[in-house]
């Protein structure tokens, strides 16, 4: 896989719960993280005293974060609505030359900042709220 342009990693939100996805505008930095809890099944009989893990067990999760500036009134308003209403709509994360991750996420944090001599900025964090699908590109 060749080097990728960071601006091509996109976070998209289902704007009206009908499968119409729109990029959260104004993002300058995005990050996606996948996690899986390990289930330790080590016992006195474990070979050589090595730890053993139970495959396929545990809880899997994903988190998304992004930071940027306000640029699109519609997607900004949708992100705030999701947070304040406690909704878990579908999001898409487009990872260039890798694939698309899609599924429900909850907005767990929104932070707003601004300096007197600069632009207003925001940061957002999301946590997976159900099963995710992966489609290879």
Q: What is the CA radius of gyration of the chain?
A: 19
**Alpha-carbon gap, residue 92 to 99, rounded angstroms:** 10
Task: Look at residue 52 in the predicted model and tell me its pLDDT.
Answer: 95
88 contacts 129 by C-beta, under 8 angstroms = yes
Whether 57 shows a pLDDT value over 90: the answer reads: no
**Tokens encoding 116:** 């007197």
Domain annotation for the chain: domains and CATH numbers? 6-136 (2.30.110)
Distance of alpha carbon 58 from its chain centroid, rounded? 20
| Model pLDDT for residues 63-93, shown as the tens digit of each residue | 999 998 877 788 888 888 999 999 999 999 9
CA atoms within 13 A on the CB side of 26: 18
127 contacts 112 by C-beta, under 8 angstroms = no
Q: What angle do CA 19, 87, 102 make, to 5 degrees?
A: 40
Q: In 3-state terms, what secondary structure has residue 7?
A: helix
Q: Tell me the backbone φ, ψ of residue 27, rounded to 5 degrees.
A: -70, 135
Q: Which has more confidence, 72 or 58?
A: 58
């Amino acid at each position: 896989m060749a080097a990728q342009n960071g601006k091509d990693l996109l976070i998209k939100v289902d704007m009206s719960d009908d499968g119409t996805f729109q990029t959260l505008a104004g993002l300058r930095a995005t990050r996606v993280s996948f996690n899986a809890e390990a289930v330790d099944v080590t016992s006195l009989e474990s070979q050589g005293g090595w730890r053993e893990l139970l495959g396929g067990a545990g809880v899997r999760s994903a988190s998304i974060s992004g930071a940027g500036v306000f640029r699109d009134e519609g997607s900004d308003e949708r992100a705030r609505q999701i947070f304040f209403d406690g909704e878990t709509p579908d999001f898409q994360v487009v990872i260039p030359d890798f694939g698309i991750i899609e599924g429900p996420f909850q907005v767990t944090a929104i932070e707003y900042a601004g300096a007197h001599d600069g632009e207003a900025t925001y940061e957002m964090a999301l946590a997976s709220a159900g099963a995710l699908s992966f489609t290879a590109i």
